[in-house]
Structure 1
Amino acid sequence: MEHQHIYDAAGRQLCCTQEEKINAAADRQLEHIHEADGHRAKDTSLNGHSDHDGHDHSGAGSSTLQMFLPALISFILLMVAIAFDHWLAPSWFTGWLRLLWYMVAYVPVGFPVIREALQSIGKGEIFSEFLLMGMATIGAFAIGEYPEGVAVMLFYALGEVCQTLAVTRAKANIKTLLDQRPDEVTILENNQPRTVKAEKVNIGQVIQLKPGEKLGLDGALLSESASFNTAALTGESKPDTKTKGETIWAGMINLNTLAQVKVTAAYTDSKLSKILALVQNATAQKAPTELFIRKFAKIYTPIVVLLALLITIVPYFFVDSYVFSQWLYRALVFLVISCPCALVISIPLGYFGGIGAASKNGILFKGSNFLDGLANIQHVVMDKTGTMTEGVFKVQEVVLKPELNKDELLKMVNALEGQSTHPVATAIHQYVGEIDHAIPLENTEEIAGQGLRAMVNGKELLVGNFKLMDTFGIRYDIDPTSIVYTLIAIAYDRRFAGYLTIADSIKEDAQLTITKLNALQVKTTMLSGDKSTVVKFVADKLGIRNAFGDLLPEDKVNKVKDIKAKNETVAFVGDGVNDAPVVALSNVGIAMGGLGSDATIETADVVIQDDQPSKIPMAINIGKQTKKIVWQNIILAFTVKAIVLVLGAGGLATMWEAVFADVGVALLAILNAVRIQQMKF
């Protein structure tokens, strides 16, 4: 099949195959790292370059080798020249021949930098890292310091190679994350398997999934049971066994049996597609620290050039034994050490590493600014149902007026709850059975935070909490606060008909979540639309001191406003549609991505894919570690550079020391930035 070529506004051909989409997404993730200091767009792609059919022709290894070869040639020529200068001392190695030798050694590593400097100037970007390097090395040649001029560019080139290796490794991790959907799937047509493009599959078609195959679209399991590896989506290595009718997400890997899955969402609408979109766009929003450093570098570089000129010229008026070449040399040392690459490379790479580390653990940050945001969180406010509890309700008891027809009333309740996606509705469906679509529901409406209303056979049917009863003036003869379980009140024909009790179970890691948040000195509060007795019961078991129930969506918003009024930074964790407003209000909104509604996931800043609340303190810890690493790099770079800048300006540091200090700091900062991807949280 021919690929459909897509073009952007500038007329450039965009990617079309799945492989190209993945590589393009990874490139976008890292693009700003190069933009940060005007680095040339090195080919760090995992597949090198591709022709029109997307086949690999070079690879990252050859790309890095192409960068390393000029540095190797330059290094060999420099070592030979130094040997001639200091040990062998051949009589012919003097004058123009000596200069020519060092120039040949300089060209492989120096010419690309000079070219980039000229191109930047042509674009109006005069003060760049390339200009600093070009001025320093040409100046070194001008005063006869040929070995040092070559060495500056040589070590700079080696630093570029190391940076490229670090970025390539980071990109490999991103590709591993993004490459979760197969391009093709096997569908059954008249019980015969046929391989087709995944994006061509329609809702309702059946996919046949062999052991070891990866599902390409969301669907419902038709087989009786099957086990799946969900690590790519959730970060959870433990196999997940699904039974007939349960939802299977794109990206899950079938483990041991031939399975059949009925497609329930289009290729572009799958949960994985939305996750990939989040990851692809994650670096678009940058942390304040990152933005500051980028702005700082643009101001800092012209100041450095001006100071270098002053170091060269001003002493002429104050120093009796002024020698131009000596002060020019000090200025050149000053230029070399002043390069800001350690900052502008390692800082975005640090944030990128944090996003990658979180993604591997099933936590999606929509931007590096939210890493900083979570690092500073003082108060976590959480919903109860679906966040700290399983969100899987079961009917425990049915208490109806004896004069009523229990079966008939429950069928009406079941039909009305068929209009809702709330977990309570699922519990009622499981208890009552199939929905009777013959029941005539009219004027159905949902009352936010209370329940459902409809007309059935000309009579009003109300199903919801006891606030709903109060709203419609229905009198009831029980005390709802005396019953711990969640209550579903029923009224029919303007009379209280009875209630159902619904129970939910606390998640396994909920207690661990609170313990870890307490260890991080983060306050916790639980807010829920569920009845207060249930909320307090769950909160007491988990050790949450502040808990409030019977809340409408606007009540949750007001509670969070009250906390923020105390100048506390707040993260809200929720999963329902009614949580979207308070998620948007909080400093950082966190959504449970498994059971969570699309509205909440879209609104949230951080998405937890597997609905495990223990990922909340993990996300905060990743944010704290990322911020810590970023500031370690800032302090390291500024400290070392400040010391060597002063020594260089005072004539106490040579260009060799400046080179080692600059390259050494950059390498240490890059290594420090990428180590977060190896941390255990």
Structure 2
Amino acid sequence: METMQHHCEHMHSCCHSKHHEDSHEYTIFILPIISFSLLITGIILQHQSTWFQNTNIQFIWFLCSFLPVGFPVMKEAWKSLLTKDLFNEFSLMVIASVGAFAIGEYPEAVAVMLFYTIGEILQDKAVDRATRNIRQLLDVRPEQVEVFRNGRYHTVSPREVKIGEIIEIKPGGRIPLDGILKDSQAIFDTSALTGESVPRTISKNEEVLAGMIISGQAVHIQVSKTYENSSLARILELVQNASERKAPAELFIRKFARIYTPVVVLSALLIIIIPALISIINPSFHYIFNDWLYRGLVFLVISCPCALVISVPLGYFGGIGAASRNGILFKGGNFLNAITHINAIAFDKTGTLTTGSFEVISVAHEGITQEQLLYFISSVEQKSNHPIAQAIVHYAKKQGIEISNENSIHELSGLGIEAEINEKKILVGNARLMKKYQINLPQEIQNCTSTIVLCAVNEKYVGHLLLSDTLKNDACKAIKNIRKLGISDIRLLSGDKKEIVNNFASQLGIDKAFGDLLPEDKVHYLEQMTTEPNKSVAFVGDGMNDAPVLALSDVGIAMGGLGSDAAIETADVVIQTDQPSKVATAISIGHATKRIIMQNIVGAIGAKSLILLAGAFGFATLWAAVFADVGVALIAVLNSMRILKMKFQ
């Protein structure tokens, strides 16, 4: 048996096929308008014309009013019956309308089907508009682009541009395709992709992504990916496909609708049958079949559960859309739900809470000036591609040091570099290099656990540089915001030296830190965490070397960065901006979505229950039942979309 959700979600053709063209949006109201006109005319004639008092004339008139809206629904009910799907919204409305005709309540029989049809059309328009708004918010690519061909620029669709071609984007224009910047430097607004308000500076030969906005100048970009394979296209596909991964609340609603509708039909029958049985047992009880049939029909109309089966998946889709606007990608409603249960988070260090790039944090010199020390070390390190060497050269240039290129350099594997500068023997490297040449070092250096680069001139120690990875700007804020959400179990797992990891943990306010870990060690630690009672663990890593731990955790969160294929493939949640503070944002969005979903479920079930009781005891009419059903559904849909207007830290 197909579930009620199938009918409500797919918007059956009789009432609400997909309509994106303006002309179709008007034509779908033609049949309801005809039905409404005949209904109002019939009601007026009932009260003002004697010839219309004939029951047969009334029946024919209201039947003509009923058919424009009733026939499509009856057709769908028959199709469902052929597939052995007996209990659905079509059959409920057909039974209610036919029953009303049977007891002579002709206007109400028409009203049931008319307002059901109008309600479904309006409901469909609300859902369709909401989902289209989410797609439009995410898909910010322009429809045309200037591409350089045959010596001049041509205006074409981005879909027609090939890899390797050069496109030109005017100031203020959106980038339609991923590519490589060919100008020296440009400033881009990435807020459409990441939710980040601070503009980003991109230099020549660096990657530019579709959806960015160029500020202040025209730029030229060499296309690196086709329209269909761009990072933004992949993000859009990910958001669309996320709806296939159902959250527990959605699965509950599916099961609920499967059981709920047959129970309601049975209850409506009992409302009619039980009073009849009571009248047989107790003759003093006055039983009027038409009155109790009417109450049963009201009960049926009110029972349609579309408010639930539409608003719950739409609520999760809205949450996924809101997260995407904030630079966070959830791979499904199930992960949006799972993140609300997280009560422990383990962070990787390098590239997650830190920038992954070294900086010189201290310079110590003996017997020579600081400028001379930087001159010797940077001149030796300038040709190395090692991140530490590059950080030293960068620091020296910032200090205005002129680096010598006329050097004789000999690299000593695992130790450092031996060089000759201005007829002086220069040694640059670690403590083992100094020990090899029997160079005495100060005691505090021998006990130093930080990243240190030592220098000796003519086999005499002259100074050293201390370097460190640096915390991201929002790393401390990230930990603080997570604690505000009530998550106190925060741990730091890293392959870096234990002393360095402890130092960063102290700066961040993290109590539990573990260093010198290989990838398999991280897996071991996370396995221990997940086996602790009532522990739901998220792991936050860079999505590359942390793949096993991301897979093992209850929710894997990757600092994917813009366009990181590995992160998007591995994790359950991807932070596009590489900002650890977005972890708290993701959890907040999860909680906001869950609150809205629960509001819809409790509100809809509560409202339905009250109106069902009112109908069973004869306090509600078919008119009220239809209005109540449509109203509850529309309120639930509108409530589901509130999350798109919410602001998150």
Shorter-chain TM-score category? 0.7 to 0.9
Q: What is the aligned partner in structure 2 of residue 616 from structure 1?
A: 583
How many Å apart are 1:395 and its aligned residue? 5.5
Q: What is the aligned partner in structure 2 of residue 317 from structure 1?
A: 277
Q: What is the aligned partner in structure 1 of residue 491 from structure 2?
A: 525
| CA deviation vs aligned residue, 1:180-205 (integer Å, no higher than 9, x gap) | 34465434468643456645655554
How many Å apart are 1:283 and its aligned residue? 0.7
Give the Cα–Cα distance (whole angstroms) in 1 for the partners of residues 116 and 446 of structure 2: 71
Give the Cα–Cα distance (whole angstroms) in 1 for the partners of residues 551 and 217 of structure 2: 43
Q: Cα 1:112–1:502, aligned 2, differ >3 Å: closer, same or farther?
A: farther
Q: Does 1:371 align with 2:336?
A: yes
Unpaired stretches in structure 1, ≥5 consecutive residues: 1-31, 49-57, 418-422, 434-456, 464-468, 491-497
Q: Does 1:514 align with 2:479?
A: yes
Q: Map of 1:87-166 to 2, 5 A cutoff?
A: 87-88=47-48, 90-166=50-126
Q: Map of 1:591-610 to 2, 5 A cutoff?
A: 591-594=558-561, 597-610=564-577
Three-state SS of the structure 2 residue aligned to 1:505 is strand
| Letter paired with 2:266 | L
Q: Does 1:563 align with 2:524?
A: no
| CA deviation vs aligned residue, 1:445-466 (integer Å, no higher than 9, x gap) | xxxxxxxxxxxx9996699xxx
Deviates more, 1:162-171 or 1:201-210: 201-210
| CA deviation vs aligned residue, 1:77-118 (integer Å, no higher than 9, x gap) | 333333344x53544343122222222322232222212111
Give the Cα–Cα distance (whole angstroms) in 2 for the partners of residues 282 and 424 of structure 1: 41
Q: What is the aligned partner in structure 2 of residue 586 from structure 1?
A: 553
CA contact 2:342–2:536 (8 Å) conserved in 1: yes
Larger Rg: 2
Q: Cα 1:352–1:537, aligned 2, differ >3 Å: closer, same or farther?
A: same
Q: What is the aligned partner in structure 1 of residue 406 from structure 2?
A: none
Three-state SS of the structure 2 residue aligned to 1:386 is coil
2:185 pairs with one of 212, 225, 243: 225
| Letter paired with 1:165 | K
| CA deviation vs aligned residue, 1:256-304 (integer Å, no higher than 9, x gap) | 2121223444555433233222122111101111012112212222232
Q: Cα 1:550–1:118, aligned 2, differ >3 Å: closer, same or farther?
A: same
How many Å apart are 1:486 and its aligned residue? 4.7
CA contact 1:386–1:595 (8 Å) conserved in 2: no
Q: Map of 1:429-468 to 2, 5 A cutoff?
A: none
Three-state SS of the structure 1 residue aligned to 2:243 is helix
TM-score by length of 1: 0.77
CA contact 1:365–1:607 (8 Å) conserved in 2: yes
CA contact 1:410–1:432 (8 Å) conserved in 2: no
Q: Does 1:180 align with 2:140?
A: yes
Q: Cα 1:576–1:40, aligned 2, differ >3 Å: closer, same or farther?
A: closer
How many Å apart are 1:615 and its aligned residue? 1.8
1:344 pairs with one of 299, 306, 309: 309
Give the Cα–Cα distance (whole angstroms) in 2 for the partners of residues 556 and 641 of structure 1: 50
Give the Cα–Cα distance (whole angstroms) in 2 for the partners of residues 324 and 480 of structure 1: 99
| Letter paired with 1:40 | H
How many Å apart are 1:407 and its aligned residue? 8.2
| Letter paired with 1:540 | S
Q: Does 1:247 align with 2:207?
A: yes
| Letter paired with 1:543 | G
CA contact 2:239–2:321 (8 Å) conserved in 1: no
Q: What is the aligned partner in structure 1 of residue 400 from structure 2?
A: none
1:80 pairs with one of 27, 35, 41: 41
Q: What is the aligned partner in structure 2 of residue 331 from structure 1?
A: 296
Give the Cα–Cα distance (whole angstroms) in 1 for the partners of residues 412 and 471 of structure 2: 38
Give the Cα–Cα distance (whole angstroms) in 1 for the partners of residues 207 and 43 of structure 2: 69
Q: What is the aligned partner in structure 1 of residue 458 from structure 2?
A: none
Three-state SS of the structure 1 residue aligned to 2:546 is helix
How many Å apart are 1:339 and its aligned residue? 1.0
Give the Cα–Cα distance (whole angstroms) in 2 for the partners of residues 425 and 585 of structure 1: 36
CA contact 1:210–1:254 (8 Å) conserved in 2: yes
| CA deviation vs aligned residue, 1:207-243 (integer Å, no higher than 9, x gap) | 3322233323333322222122212211224432323
Three-state SS of the structure 1 residue aligned to 2:171 is coil
Three-state SS of the structure 2 residue aligned to 1:158 is helix
Three-state SS of the structure 2 residue aligned to 1:213 is coil
TM-score by length of 2: 0.80
Q: Cα 1:676–1:33, aligned 2, differ >3 Å: closer, same or farther?
A: farther
Deviates more, 1:294-303 or 1:279-288: 294-303
| Letter paired with 2:595 | K
Q: What is the aligned partner in structure 2 of residue 446 from structure 1?
A: none
Give the Cα–Cα distance (whole angstroms) in 2 for the partners of residues 90 and 374 of structure 1: 68
Give the Cα–Cα distance (whole angstroms) in 1 for the partners of residues 277 and 5 of structure 2: 43
CA contact 1:44–1:167 (8 Å) conserved in 2: no
Q: What is the aligned partner in structure 2 of residue 168 from structure 1?
A: 128
Q: What is the aligned partner in structure 2 of residue 547 from structure 1?
A: 513
Q: What is the aligned partner in structure 2 of residue 19 from structure 1?
A: none
Q: Cα 1:596–1:228, aligned 2, differ >3 Å: closer, same or farther?
A: closer
CA contact 2:190–2:196 (8 Å) conserved in 1: yes
Q: Cα 1:338–1:458, aligned 2, differ >3 Å: closer, same or farther?
A: same
CA contact 2:567–2:574 (8 Å) conserved in 1: no
How many Å apart are 1:388 and its aligned residue? 2.2
Q: Cα 1:101–1:199, aligned 2, differ >3 Å: closer, same or farther?
A: closer
| CA deviation vs aligned residue, 1:562-609 (integer Å, no higher than 9, x gap) | 221222111211114111111111111111221685323211111122
2:230 pairs with one of 265, 270, 275: 270
How many Å apart are 1:157 and its aligned residue? 2.1
Three-state SS of the structure 2 residue aligned to 1:286 is coil
Three-state SS of the structure 2 residue aligned to 1:126 is coil
Three-state SS of the structure 2 residue aligned to 1:318 is helix
How many Å apart are 1:635 and its aligned residue? 1.1
Give the Cα–Cα distance (whole angstroms) in 2 for the partners of residues 673 and 282 of structure 1: 17
Q: What is the aligned partner in structure 2 of residue 444 from structure 1?
A: none
Give the Cα–Cα distance (whole angstroms) in 2 for the partners of residues 479 and 598 of structure 1: 45
CA contact 1:180–1:232 (8 Å) conserved in 2: yes
Q: What is the aligned partner in structure 2 of residue 5 from structure 1?
A: none
Give the Cα–Cα distance (whole angstroms) in 2 for the partners of residues 611 and 81 of structure 1: 66
Q: Does 1:193 align with 2:153?
A: yes
How many Å apart are 1:143 and its aligned residue? 0.6
Q: Cα 1:109–1:189, aligned 2, differ >3 Å: closer, same or farther?
A: closer
Three-state SS of the structure 1 residue aligned to 2:589 is helix
2:31 pairs with one of 57, 70, 75: 70
Give the Cα–Cα distance (whole angstroms) in 1 for the partners of residues 232 and 389 of structure 2: 26
Q: Map of 1:425-504 to 2, 5 A cutoff?
A: 483=448, 485-486=450-451, 502-504=467-469
Give the Cα–Cα distance (whole angstroms) in 2 for the partners of residues 574 and 220 of structure 1: 27
| Letter paired with 1:503 | S
Unpaired stretches in structure 2, ≥5 consecutive residues: 281-285, 365-372, 398-409, 417-429, 456-462
Q: Does 1:40 align with 2:12?
A: yes
Three-state SS of the structure 1 residue aligned to 2:472 is coil
| Letter paired with 2:170 | K
How many Å apart are 1:349 and its aligned residue? 1.3
Three-state SS of the structure 1 residue aligned to 2:347 is strand
CA contact 1:75–1:154 (8 Å) conserved in 2: yes
How many Å apart are 1:330 and its aligned residue? 2.1
Three-state SS of the structure 2 residue aligned to 1:577 is coil
Give the Cα–Cα distance (whole angstroms) in 1 for the partners of residues 65 and 562 of structure 2: 62
